[in-house]
Amino acid sequence: MAKEKYDPYKGFRELTGMWEKQMNSLLLSWSDNTDYIKLSNVGLQTHTRYLEMIKRNQEIMANFMNMPTKTDVKNVAKLTIQAEEKIDALEEQIWNLQDSFAAINKENMEFFGELVALSKQMKEELDNNVKELREAKKVKSDLQKLRKELSDTNELKAELQELRRELTEANGLKLELQELKQELVQYKETKNQEPVQEKKEFELAGAGTGK
Amino acid sequence: MAVESPVKIPALDYEKEMKRWTQVYKILTEDAPKIEHSPREMVWRKNKTTLWHYPAKEKKYSTPLFFVYSLLNKPYILDISPDTSVIAGLTKRGYDVYLLDWGNPGYEDDDISFDSYILDYLEKGVKRALRHSGAEDISVVGYCLGGTIASIFASITDLPIKNLIVATVPIDYSVGVAPEKWLEGLQNGTVSVDRWVDVYGTIPPALVEAMFRTLAPVNVSPYVGLVSRAHDSRYVDKWRRMDKWLNDSAPFAGAALKQMFNDLMKDNKLVKGELVIGGRRADLSNIKCNFFAVSSANDGLIAEGQSLPVMDLVSSEDKTYKVVEAGHVSLALSGLFAPIVDEWLSSRSDLA
């Protein structure tokens, strides 16, 4: 039994807690009425007027004694706050400038990047053009060769045409020859027939005479 | 022969009691603990606002995370101790984290409105984070009022927000944890804070704390809790860090506070789609990025009804809602938020 610890504060704490809660509820419920509110407002306004009077008198006295008042100090302090605000505004403008510069730099970098890419592309295109030019030259020389060959072919063609003409002429000659030959054959035939006829005629003529 | 007493009185653990009261004495006499941040570097500074970069331990995701914290408290709750830091939890999981620390607005910052906070600080901060990280898009995480600001921002910006996460976010001000008549008084104009805000210019931290305190005027349980667990060094360390943070509210720029009271609380313009920021209408239906909303089940500051409507207001096709068993602060304080974010975000972030 003697070993059991006794905490005398536990109950006290609980009792105090309950008492405090009840007292607060009581006080708040007492003050929870319109009359109390009106009275409080009267007290507040009286206190305010009293303070206003003290302040006004303080200002008057300080003015007579040529002493700065709290209001004067407040005005000076406001100037420093304004200066601080201006510095802040300037700092923000510097930020904006920094951001603009950063943006411009970024744009420039992008532009330079594009320029580099473009010059690379141009170089590649130039190489391609050189290559193409070389090929074109090759093609040109091939074309010239072809042209030459074509002109040779044309010459050959002309020769062939001449030959053809000659051949045509030769064919004409041949025809003529054939005609001549035919005529000759006809002539020969005619000639061969003429003695027979003449003979016949002679015979006919001779027969007449013989009688 | 010993006779047992009918009343059992257990013995006190004297060693434990000595440790408890030594710790209590130390807390009362020592300075508040110093909060050591995870490794970070300053990326940008404007007026009181600082943009911090917490590099990933081993970068796994190229989409960075951008934290927007509330204007009412200081964001070091997200990096309050090495063991439970939300930011360290995310950098360990491979995320590059950016945190926009609004800083402490001074008397001269009385005219900083939601318009200025969103357009001159948050939008510029996100731009800087995008430029610093070199990422194409970003995930924005808003906590508490930071979630409201992040949602408004996401609805009007053209910047590439890939994912939007909001935690314990007040969106619908027609409901709340404050008594009904308070809200009613504010909404019907019975109470107006404009003149009071004008006279202060920038609301000092003590008054911001007082505004929170009105929601729970009696606040003794944290101290009773501390005494009852003061023998536990880890608990004490955690308590002290939280206590430091709770008593270290940020001043609130007057113009922004007036806008919060009038446009958000009084007219509920964000839900109605009538809020105009820098000439642009903050319509939550413009939010089309992946969306994740986290609510705490035991939230004493933001009721679930304030967060839930955002799910219907955004146009995101990929949207998730999750309720976590935690409180408004403990979600961040315990580091629980980091695995919750990672679980949802890992599949929605680009790999590095």
What are the two backbone dihedrals, phi and then psi, of residue B167, each rounded to the nearest 5 degrees?
A: -125, 135
Whether B130 shows a pLDDT value over 80: the answer reads: yes
Distance from CA of A117 to the nearest CA of B (A): 31
A4 touches chain B (CB under 8 A): yes
Is there a domain that residue A23 lies in?
yes
| Residue where the block lists tokens 């667990």 | B229
Residue B53 is part of which domain span? 31-348
| Cβ contact A5–B10 (<8 Å) | yes
Whether A74 is in a domain gets the answer no
Q: How confident is the model at residue B333 (pLDDT cuts 50, 70, 90)?
A: confident
Evaluate whether residue A59 is within a structural domain: yes
Q: Which tens digits make up the pLDDT trace of A136-193?
A: 888 888 888 888 888 888 888 888 888 878 877 877 777 887 888 887 777 777 777 6
- What is the widest separation between alpha-carbon atoms in chain B? 91
Q: Could you please report the per-residue DSSP string of B82-108?
A: TTT-HHHHHHHTT--EEEEE-----GG
Q: Do B47 and A84 touch (CB under 8 A)?
A: yes
Q: Which of A149-163, B67-81, B106-120, B218-232 has the lowest mean pLDDT?
A: A149-163
| Coil, strand or helix at B293 | strand
Do the chains contact at A16 and B200, CB–CB below 8 Å? no
pLDDT of B1: 45
pLDDT digits (tens, 9 = 90+) for A20-60: 999 999 999 999 999 999 999 999 999 999 999 999 999 99
Contact in structure between B211 and B258 (CB atoms under 8 Å) = no
The answer, for B7 touching chain A at a CB cutoff of 8 Å, is no
Residue B46 within any structural domain of the chain = yes
Q: Is residue B161 within 8 Å of B137, Cβ to Cβ? A: yes
Q: Quick check: is A150 in a domain?
A: no
> Lowest mean pLDDT: which of A64-68, A82-86, A146-150, B205-209?
A146-150
Q: Is B97 inside a domain boundary?
A: yes
Q: How many domains does chain A have?
A: 1
Dig out the tokens for A166 from the structure: 């000659």
Does residue B1 sit within a domain? no
pLDDT at residue A208 tops 90: no
Domain that holds residue A28: 11-67
Share of residues in chain B with pLDDT > 90 (%):
67
Question: Is B185's CB within 8 Å of A34's CB?
Answer: yes
Mean pLDDT of A61-86: 91
Structure tokens at A189: 């035939």
Average pLDDT of the segment spanning B88-104: 96
Q: Is residue A37 part of a domain?
A: yes
| Interface check B8 vs A, CB under 8 A | yes
CA distance B95 to B93: 6
How far apart are alpha carbons B193 and B189 in whole angstroms? 10
In this structure, the number of other CB atoms found within 10 A of the CB of residue A45 comes to 14
Residue B38's identity, in one-letter code, is S
Q: Identify whether B47 is part of a domain.
A: yes
A101 lies in some domain: no
Number of domain units in chain B: 1
Is residue B16 in some structural domain?
no
The three-class DSSP label of residue B188 is coil
User: Is residue B10 assigned to a domain?
Assistant: no
Residues 6+ positions from B94 with CB-CB distance below 8 Å: B56, B57, B58, B59, B60, B61, B352
Q: B24 at the A interface (CB within 8 A)?
A: no
Give the C-alpha separation, B345 to B87, whole Å. 14
Tens digits of residue pLDDT in B228-273: 888 888 888 888 998 899 889 999 999 999 999 999 999 999 999 9
- For residue B178, the chain A residue with the least C-alpha distance is A28
Contact A4 B107 (CB under 8 A): no
Flag whether A157 is in a domain: no
Q: Which residue of B has its CA nearest to A55?
A: B199
CATH of the domain at B183: 3.40.50.1820
The answer to whether A52 faces chain B, any CB pair under 8 Å, is yes
- Mean residue pLDDT of chain B comes to 91
Of the spans A144-153, B199-208, B212-221, which averages the highest pLDDT? B199-208
Cβ-based neighbour number of residue B93 at 10 Å = 20
Contact B11 A55 (CB under 8 A): no
Say yes or no: B185 contacts chain A, CB-CB below 8 A.
yes
Q: Answer yes or no: is B297 within a domain.
A: yes
Work out the pLDDT band at A209, boundaries 50, 70, 90: very low
Residue at A119 is within a domain: no
